[in-house]
Amino acid sequence: MFGSVLKELCKCKVKDIINLLWKKVCAQVLPAISDQVGTEVGIDHYLWKKITAKKSKNARKDGFINFVDKVLFLRDDSRVIKLDITCDIYYDVDRLDAWLIVAARRHVEEVNLVWNPKEPTELTPLVFTPSSGISKFKFMPNRYYDSYLQLPNSLCLAPMLKSLHLESCKLPKGNSKGEMTLQCSILKNLTIIDCEHGDLKLIDIYIPGLRNLVVENVKDDRNGSCKLKIRTRKLESITLSGCMYQHYSLEYLTSLVCAKFGWLRGCMQAQSLIQVLEGLRHAKLLELFGLSLEPQDMEDQLLNGLLYLRCLKLTHWSNCSCIRTLLNLLRSSRFIETLVVELNQDDKAEEWEEELFPNMFRKLKVAEVRNLKGCDNDLKFLHLLLMNATQLEKLTITMVPWGRQMMLAELGRRIQSLPRASSSITILLF
């Protein structure tokens, strides 16, 4: 063993030598501590950079607890930078709270907790107090079902948090009116996935420095009676997907670069879509997916204009009996340079009308049309696109999987015969 180690040491710098020696020592010593506990330990400049403790299926509970205790309750100057805890349904809630409190007091920077408490449990509020050093916190259950973990109200004002990821847990209860306001002053990244809203009537995200936001509600009955309010001037990326909130209020999103919005169940009123798009109007890239709109005319509800938009994606649409809605959206995006659209039309779909297309696609350079069936209405859309896109350089067309080989040659011939406004266009058909 030592001969091979010496050969490796000769090739290393001082810092690498320390790391290599530490790994070799851990490989020999740690298995003797507990053969039931898997650990991964690294060191950099004599500081502990990462500690991971994982309880395996057959691990003894006491061995797991004692090992974590030994690491967290060290009395020397060792610094724990990151703490990962992954365990099954765990009964000793007080011990877990003690670990998190010690982690906060020892200024552990990152905590990742994967856990399913057996019964309803509230996380200790001391984790998110001003004295805590935790800047990154992530919670998620280690099973497909939900967790009983209730988050404390102290989370809403956590002054040290820079990154927060919450999945399948219970959001803070908020004030007596059912209003929860997140005001973490230096938070940059926020992710909320399938969390129970309880009796919350309003979630107000008021974090001036927030850069990235993801809110997903795939499961039913989580947020239907709750309103969502977002006020973040520096927000650059936002994803809102899943079941609809009762009302959306998106204010001051003047720094938006990328925005994604989609919903799953039921039809959405055109006015509700306009309400959301007005809040996302500063985005340069906008993706709308999973749409199922009410087939109503938006002629009198035209958007003010998505003047900053350069890339528009319309994917996974549930129906296409709302062509006028789409046309009004495209008309409001007259400066887009890239367009991706899926044509999920049925036999009862409205037809594309030529008189509704003037002055559209004047800046368009790249287009992708997916799920083409080859019906007359699909070809009419391509015809109007090619006739109006004077600067179009590349058009990619993807057909539906079924019957592709039979229709490919015929469809290619029909597309080649369509007139086009651009003289330097490349068309790819798959």
What is the band of 318 on the pLDDT scale with cuts at 50, 70, 90? Answer: low
109-167: pLDDT as tens digits: 999 998 887 778 899 999 999 989 899 999 998 776 666 889 999 999 999 999 999 99
Per-residue pLDDT at 413 exceeds 50: yes
What integer pLDDT is reported at residue 204 of this predicted model? 98
Total count of domains within the chain: 1
Per-residue pLDDT at 396 exceeds 60: yes
What integer pLDDT is reported at residue 120 of this predicted model? 85
Q: How far is the C-alpha of 99 from the C-alpha of 83, rounded, in Å?
A: 10
Per-residue pLDDT at 397 exceeds 90: yes
Confirm whether 149 is domain-assigned: no
Confirm whether 390 is domain-assigned: yes
Confirm whether 377 is domain-assigned: yes
Q: How far is the C-alpha of 420 from the C-alpha of 389, rounded, in Å?
A: 8
Average pLDDT over residues 354-377: 82
Tokens of 33: 């501590």
67-114: pLDDT as tens digits: 778 778 776 677 789 998 887 655 577 888 888 998 998 889 999 998
38 DSSP β-pair partners? 54
Confirm whether 321 is domain-assigned: yes
Range of the domain at 423: 308-430
Read off the pTM.
0.83
Per-residue pLDDT at 237 exceeds 90: yes
Confirm whether 132 is domain-assigned: no
Asked if 69 and 102 count as a contact pair (C-beta separation under 8 A), the reply is no
What integer pLDDT is reported at residue 225 of this predicted model? 87
Per-residue pLDDT at 224 exceeds 60: yes
What integer pLDDT is reported at residue 36 of this predicted model? 35
